[in-house]
Structure 1
Amino acid sequence: MSVFDLEKLESASKSHLDTLQQLNSRLFASVEEFSQLQFKTLRQTTDDNFENVRKLLSVRDPQAFIELQASFFKPNEQAERFVEFSRQAYDLFSRFQGEVTKLAERQIEIGTQQVQELVEEISKNAPAGAEPVVSVFKSAVESAGNVYESAQKAAKQASKQAADIAESGIDAAAAAAAQGKKTA
């Protein structure tokens, strides 16, 4: 009797391929969303610039030209646009990271279950007198699982802290832009 079940191996391969396809699809969808965000921002900026040029071309006296030209420089408005773009990009990347994390966690759970099943199968088929070796093997697999869980918890905590820092930075920039607008 073989320890390796070909049907399980085939099933695991199909599962990994499906997960890879899901990851690939999500990656392309995220790139598409980010490209659309960039395109929308570029289009809006270009349209605004053309509108400003039209206004400049319609001015007839020098004083109105200077006043109009001064009105084009709006640092607060530009900052608000940048903050909004950053917020949308951050949200997009956060969603993508969350989806990839869920896929990875699911695959790790499946892999862990498969390893546990393999260890059980080895235990059943181990020759007499091999109990100490099987016990050490089981202990090693269990320890590796515990190490992984600890690392996963630490990574989630670090990711959460990084997300909080990024979010507070975006919020601070938005508040500064709003304060600058009030001041102006």
Structure 2
Amino acid sequence: MNGLVPEQLLAAQKAGVESTFGFLTKAFEGLEKLVELNVQVVKATLAENQEIVAKAFSSGDLPGLFALQTSQAQPVAEKVRSYWQHVYEILSSTQSQCAAAAETHFKQFQNEAQGFVDSITKNAPAGSETTVAAWKAFVTTASETYEAAKKATKQAVEIAESNANVVAAGANGTAKRAVVARVKEAETKSSE
């Protein structure tokens, strides 16, 4: 065999380690964004709840308290929908960055593997056709498997996005119905 094979293997291992750390870095950046979002949400929620409690204590009448509670239902539903939309955007962005890096890495691997197989083919001793054919089949199978996984991942992302949109639409409708019911309830109690 060729003396370059160990160098190729060493280069492939180095590239694999570098790509692994690249993926981990991208995943950690996504996690950082989620943590930042959650910190913002907690700060905003605490401030809003403090304001609501202060208003509740200053409101001396029961209908005013119901009206205050009712007025918060729609904004809370919107905030929940917005929060999950941000979470989806962060996860989607992180996934697409990782997918792009994986695509680049896989194409590089595919080219290197093809070069390796070509090198083996040229330098293979007589009678090793079966081994060379096995390497070629491996490269072909790896390429086909990657393409199938890529399509499945794309479909899963599309389904998740569709489900997120349906849930958001349903949450908005539920919140609107709850607000209308609370307003009617508060009006009924205040007219009694």
Same fold (TM over 0.5): yes
Name which of structure 1's ranges 166-175 and 76-85 shifts more when overlaid on structure 2. 166-175
What 5-or-longer segments of structure 2 have no aligned partner? 184-192
Could you tell me how far apart the structure 1 residues matched to 2:166 and 2:57 are? 42
* Mapping for residues 27-176 of structure 1, pairs under 5 Å: 27-59=27-59, 62-63=60-61, 66-73=62-69, 74-131=72-129, 133-174=131-172, 176=174
Amino acid at match of 1:99: Q
CA contact (8 A) 1:3 1:118 kept: no
Q: Report the counterpart of residue 12 of structure 2 in structure 1.
A: 12
Instruction: Give the drift of 1:76.
Output: 1.8
Could you tell me how far apart the structure 1 residues matched to 2:29 and 2:138 are? 40
Relative to 1, partners in 2 of residues 1:144 and 1:8: Cα closer, same or farther, differing over 3 Å? closer
C-alpha RMSD of matched pairs (Å):
2.7
Could you tell me how far apart the structure 2 residues matched to 1:180 and 1:53 are? 21
Could you tell me how far apart the structure 1 residues matched to 2:79 and 2:166 are? 17
Instruction: Give the drift of 1:181.
Output: 5.8
Instruction: Give the drift of 1:4.
Output: 5.0
Relative to 1, partners in 2 of residues 1:130 and 1:57: Cα closer, same or farther, differing over 3 Å? closer
CA contact (8 A) 2:110 2:139 kept: no
Relative to 1, partners in 2 of residues 1:108 and 1:49: Cα closer, same or farther, differing over 3 Å? same
Could you tell me how far apart the structure 2 residues matched to 1:41 and 1:162 are? 23
Could you tell me how far apart the structure 1 residues matched to 2:137 and 2:56 are? 77
1:24 counterpart = 2:24: yes
CA contact (8 A) 2:78 2:172 kept: yes
Amino acid at match of 1:124: K
Could you tell me how far apart the structure 2 residues matched to 1:14 and 1:136 are? 25
CA contact (8 A) 1:76 1:177 kept: yes
CA contact (8 A) 1:3 1:121 kept: no
TM-score w.r.t. length of structure 2: 0.76
Higher relative contact order (CA 8 A, sep 6+): 2
Residues 12-49 of structure 1: CA distance to partner in whole angstroms, max 9, x if unpaired? Answer: 33322332232222222211211111111111111111
Q: Counterpart of 1:19 in 2: which secondary structure?
A: helix
Relative to 1, partners in 2 of residues 1:109 and 1:34: Cα closer, same or farther, differing over 3 Å? same
Relative to 1, partners in 2 of residues 1:53 and 1:25: Cα closer, same or farther, differing over 3 Å? same
